[in-house]
Structure 1
Amino acid sequence: MKSNNSVNDENLIKFSSILTNKTNNGFVILERNDKLPYAILLKSEKKVDHISNFFMFCATLGLWSIVWIYISQVSSKAKKILVALDEDGNPFEEKCYMG
């Protein structure tokens, strides 16, 4: 049977590896608490190059509009997420409302 200390250490290592993966993907840590453990991460907004998207729209006879709308409305927006471990040590991720 594992002691409570080793379980907490394993959970903290798991939490730190999740945060490392997120920061490697472009997120920035806004707030972190290792006692609970949780962290709030922010990925800044990407600028969309509408001129090149317009040329792709023309070259594909309008088919590129689906991709262009997705890029403009979904993937380029700023993202704020909460990453935490629950009582059992399982990681979870939730979207935070931008305020």
Structure 2
Amino acid sequence: MKSNTSITEENFIKFSSILENKTNHGFIVLERNDKLPFAILLKKRQKVDHLFNFCICCITLGLWSIAWIYITQVSSKAKKILVAIDEDGNTFEEKCYMG
């Protein structure tokens, strides 16, 4: 049977690897607490090149408009997430309210 310290070390390593993965994908760590452990990450809003998307939309006879709307409405918005370890030692991710 493993001791509690080895389980928490394994979970902390998993937590750190998730944070590293998220920061490699463009997230910025806003707040991190290693005692609880949790972290709040932010991915800034991306600019949409509407002229480029309009040209692609014209070339594809309007088919690109579906992707263009998705890019404009969903992908380009800022994202804020919470990454933490719960009481059972499992890591989880949750979206934060951007108010």
Give the TM-score normalised by structure 2.
0.96
Deviations 1:6-58 (A, max 9, x none): 11111111110000000000000000111111100000000000000000111
**How far apart are the structure 2 equivalents of 1:26 and 1:89?**
26
Deviation >4 Å, runs of 4+? none
Aligned partner letter, 1:11: N
Aligned partner letter, 2:35: K
Unpaired stretches in structure 2, ≥5 consecutive residues: none
Aligned partner letter, 2:21: N
* Paired position in structure 1 for 2:67: 67
**How far apart are the structure 1 equivalents of 2:70 and 2:30?**
27
Residue identity (%): 77
Secondary structure in structure 1 of the residue aligned to 2:62? coil
**How far apart are the structure 2 equivalents of 1:11 and 1:37?**
10
For 1:1-99, what aligned pairs fall within 5 Å after superposition? Answer: 1-99=1-99
Higher relative CO (Cα under 8 Å, sequence separation at least 6) belongs to 2
Shift in Å, 1:80: 0.2
**Backbone CA RMSD of aligned residues:** 0.7
How many residues are matched? Answer: 99
